[in-house]
Chain A
Amino acid sequence: MKRVLCAWFGAVLLLAGMAPLTAGAVEPIKIGFGMALTGGLAGNGKAALVAIQIWRDEINAKGGLLGRPVQLIYYDDQTNPALVPGIYTKLLDVDKVDLVISGYGTNLQAPAMPIIMQHGMTFIGLFGLDVNHQFHYDRFFQIQPNGEDPSISSIEGFFQAAMTAKPTPKTVAMVGADAEYPKVALEGARKIVKQLGLKIVYDRSYPPTTVDYTPIIRSIQATNPDIVYVASYPPDSAGMVHAAHEVGLKATVFGGGMIGLQFASLKQQLGEMLNGIICYDMYVPSTTMNFPGINEFLAKYQPVAKEEGADQLGFYLPPFAYAAMQILTQAVETTKGLDQGKIAEYIHATEFDTVVGHVKFAANGEWAKPRVIFVQYRGIKGNDLEQFKKPGTAVIVAPAEYKTGDVEAPYSAIAH
């Protein structure tokens, strides 16, 4: 009996001792997302994750969000859209996350939308193409500087720059993969080409499974175009550049919407072959893009990325992923809570200063003002990545606001 009483007494003391500890423990703010950490989009997914983790470490070092530590809960969506509904339901119903952001890419954002909308969450998307045009969700925001009409804004800079080339181009060849982004880009390019009065001499698409691009470049060459506009995903972008180099493509301007040329891996692989190409980009080191905090962010990102096997330069997606978290931080701290409606209202009403510049959202959640840049690669020597970290190898030729140089043409005369 005495022993039982002692045990009860001990248990009560233990619980009493634990009580202040439990009351003092602060519940973390959970931020949930799915991210492509394996599969086709893993290269960028990993880079985005590193950026978000840097933000988490910084915010926790400052005392957290609303005085609570931040915890990231994320799952690998394996670049598989069919897994996305399950992942976001798990995050919201089982893990009970307080805030959500999206994975990388259009087809990994769209499947999450019905679940997000059902829960009334504010949702920040990473590099999706016009995802909200079907859903019309007023708590959706896209982190990609495409502007309200992505089909035009991500292309027109290329043609603006191309038309400044000497001799002035008169004909254009357009080619792209049979896939989502190239299809949108080519549609936009046709509209712009019509406005500019250029003559289309080649307008074809190729299956995404294509491996040999030399016949495509040869048939383009046979039409003798002044401008060659390519809309492609990373493997085809590399294939097209290799083929143009091999065939000795003769054109005044070559480039366009070639996804992949922004990545460290392709920059390193293609090296000098990039010289002369004009391509879209989101950020390059230059005097006109010296946004507050960008250099500090990249200084933190690059060593971590090297260790983690993510994109070593981090110019493409990482600063934008970090900017998404800056926006979320400001919205949560200013509204002093996690009320999703208030957070969305605040994001709609505010212009944010981020590491990727000023961000203001339009009613459809896209950026109010497009800010895609077009760069011409120049003076690249060998395959050393360090040369891309300094201004000069990627000269901004459009838009005028960020311009650091004029177009050099013809492409065929530039050593590559």
Chain B
Amino acid sequence: MAAKRFWLIAILVGAVFFGLSLLVPNQYYFQAGYVVLQYIVLATAWNILGGYTGYVNFGVAAFFALGAYSSVALYKLAPLPLPVLILIAGIVSGVVGLGMGYLTLRLRGAFFSIATLAMAVVMQTLITNWDYVGGSRGAYILRPAQVPILGNYIVYLFLIMLILAVITIGIARSIERSRLGFGFAAIRDDEQAAEAAGVPTLRLKLVATTLSGALMGMAGAPLPYYVTYLDPASGFSLSYAVNSIAMPLIGGMTNWIGPLIGALFLGTIQQLATVTISSALNLLIVGLLLVGFVVIAPNGIVGLFERVVERARGRR
């Protein structure tokens, strides 16, 4: 399918989805939907580096929180519209992603992952000691109760996150079918061979870390407006990293639809578990699903589906 047609369909699906969502009579749907959409963005962004390029990033929370704290800093400086805050958060996180790419360009495999984890710790320490954004005390964000046309502010946040999810999926899908995507895949399969074959591995890795970081930061930017109180412990919560990695693993890491399926599946289960089982069991669910998928479907739901289709074709 041509990229233009995909973008058009993605926008159309997003618009129809939002239109149908407006028919739901309670705000809880938008609250829960916002979280699921946020994970679609995070999982897809993580997959650009982790799935396409094969570099496992454990520092998701750092980029996510960086986006959130960019919003807090700008909120205190001058009140700007949320889309502008998201854009700035994307730039800030993208620059940090680029920096991380440069600093870790010689690291591969587990060493790269440990470096990203260390970066999250460094970032959290910096934010904890930066009083302007609330430091360890945390920061309050007062959001308006209503917005024009849409009414409730949570509907506005939901729409913003939906647009972000459509854009992120569009970018991921465009990368997958482009020279850039083939370059990423070459790095994932064998970096040295790719380098020998003339693939500009360093440049591509930097593109991946920048893009992935920027999108994660953009997902974090509306967070202070969602929770209205942000402290380092919740902004840098490990659950963001765990979920962002688990979702592509469960959905499938080699294409754009895997993280989308994983985030929809796992995100929805977690939201349901919160108000039904009502306990931290949802992290247990993530763990059990991860173990289950690693054993039964190492290539995720997409891989499982492909295997079933191939078998069906073979029988014919």
Contact = CB atoms under 8 A, between A and B. Distances in A.
Interface string A45-66: 0000000000000000000000
Interface residues of B, number: 39
B143 A114 contact: yes
A180 B275 contact: no
B26 A184 contact: no
Interface in A127-144: 134-135
Contact of A89 (B31, B125, B143): B31
Interface in A59-114: 74-76, 78, 80-87, 89-90, 93-94, 106-107, 110-111, 113-114
Interface in B242-297: 271, 274-275, 278-280, 282
Dominant secondary structure of chain B at its interface with chain A: helix
A219 interface: no
Interface string B6-34: 00000000000000000000111011100
A198 interface: no
A72 to B, nearest CB: 12
A74 B274 CA distance: 11
By DSSP majority rule, is chain A's interface helix, strand, loop, or mixed?
helix
Interface residues of A, number: 39
A110 B228 contact: yes
Interface stretch (B180-188, B196-204, B233-241, B301-309): B233-241
Contacts of B275: 75, 86-87, 90
B280 A78 contact: yes
A86 B32 contact: yes
Contacts of B229: 81, 106-107, 110-111
A414 interface: no
B142 A135 contact: yes
B142 A86 contact: no
Nearest to B140: A134
Contact of B137 (A113, A135, A180, A207): A180
Nearest to A184: B137
A353 interface: no
Contact of B274 (A87, A182, A183, A208): A87
B75 interface: no
A159 to B, nearest CB: 22
Interface of A: 37-39, 74-76, 78, 80-87, 89-90, 93-94, 106-107, 110-111, 113-114, 117-118, 134-135, 177-180, 182-184, 205, 207-208
